[in-house]
Amino acid sequence: MPRIYLDYNATTPVDPAVLEEVVNTLKNYQGNPSSVYEEGRAARILIEDSRDLVKSFLDAGNSGEIIFTSSGSESINLAITGSVYAYMKNNKKKVPHIITSTVEHHAVLNTFKFLESIGAETTYIGVNEFGMIDIEEITGAIRENTSLVSIMGANNETGTLFPIKQIFEEVKKVKEDVICHSDLVQVIGKAHFSLKDVPLDMCSFSGHKFYALKGCGALYVKKGVNIEPIIHGGHQERGLRAGTENIAGIVSIAKALSLLKNIMNDELTRINSLGSIFHDKLFYGIEGIKLNGNPVNRLKNTLNVSFDGVKSETLLFNLDLYGISASAGSACNAGTVSLSHVLKAHGYDAKRIESAIRFSIGRYTTEDDIDYAVSAIKKGVLKLRTGS
């Protein structure tokens, strides 16, 4: 029985060329980058070259800096908490007000909850049944003490794309000094993105979502944006992230992005086409299914689908027996029994949410994989609906 991996939004396999680069790094760059002797200098040069490659991929130019972290979650925490700490430090008589959406990843939402516990004021902007956000509701929520607006680029569960260019342009018109941050964890590698196009002050992403190693991430910080470190110790990463750098992880990010830069157009064309084929075969072949999220403005690699009369947990178990790897939503929530906060925010009823499964394809998915998966899904759904 084949194993068909359809959970690329949870994590991606390491690209062989990235793995080769990582092995070479582990073999030949063993010095501490903070050391002044030859081995340390060589490691430092490797990190700075990697930083330049990441900036080039994002079209950052000299507009800001890349801070390497351990994950997308850490990057998000550093951006949001770090900026609020800086605001509180520089405006001792003001309580910071921060804005986000109700469908963000828990890395954002739980950071907001933490900041609420230490006195920050928060606003959560809802979405409609198609997962879209009202820009006027965001701008209308801005106050005199609003210090940060954080809106994700693409939703991890539904693939819905947010119009972050328009969102942050309008935010800046209302209050120019508001820091604009976006969680781009699901955008990098799955959609075209350039900092030349979007007025962002900070953006976060994670290596393992685009064929680099797990345990490495990065944060872009525009020049002039003040944030305080949340990990204290040495002066690594421009004094914003203490701890000896994960050289292999950093190199894996740079190598993965350099590969992406060369193949991006062809890869997106192929994956988007394959995503459309998957959608059509699934919907034409099975009755009683619904697409969750936005039918148009979404990552085409992502299908979040509810199957009438079927519980997602049971169907996932059956699909695993057929060799299909998929998920009921965010991998961070695996094993939990609570309903998806993302789908609840869309206003869907409990039955629809309880029957939702996320399929996400990527670099190594083939049309044969899709054909096999659709056949297995049909069998699994029919089996559960008939009780056989």
Reported as type and span, the H/E element at residue 68 is strand 64-69
Catalytic annotation on 332? yes
CB count in 10 Å sphere of residue 231: 17
**Interatomic CA distance for residues 327 and 7, integer angstroms:** 7
What residue spans of the chain are helical by DSSP H?
16-28, 38-57, 72-90, 106-117, 135-141, 164-174, 247-285, 312-321, 341-345, 350-354, 367-386
Please pick, among 180, 203, 216, 332, the residue that the annotation labels catalytic. Answer: 332
Cα–Cα distance, 30 to 43 (Å, whole number):
7
Q: Which residue has the tokens 């996320």?
A: 358
Q: How many CA atoms lie within 13 A of 132 on its CB side?
A: 11
Which helix H or strand E contains 360, and what residues bound it? strand 356-360
Give the dihedral of Cα atoms 359, 360, 365, 366; nearest 10 deg: 50
Residues with a known catalytic role: 332
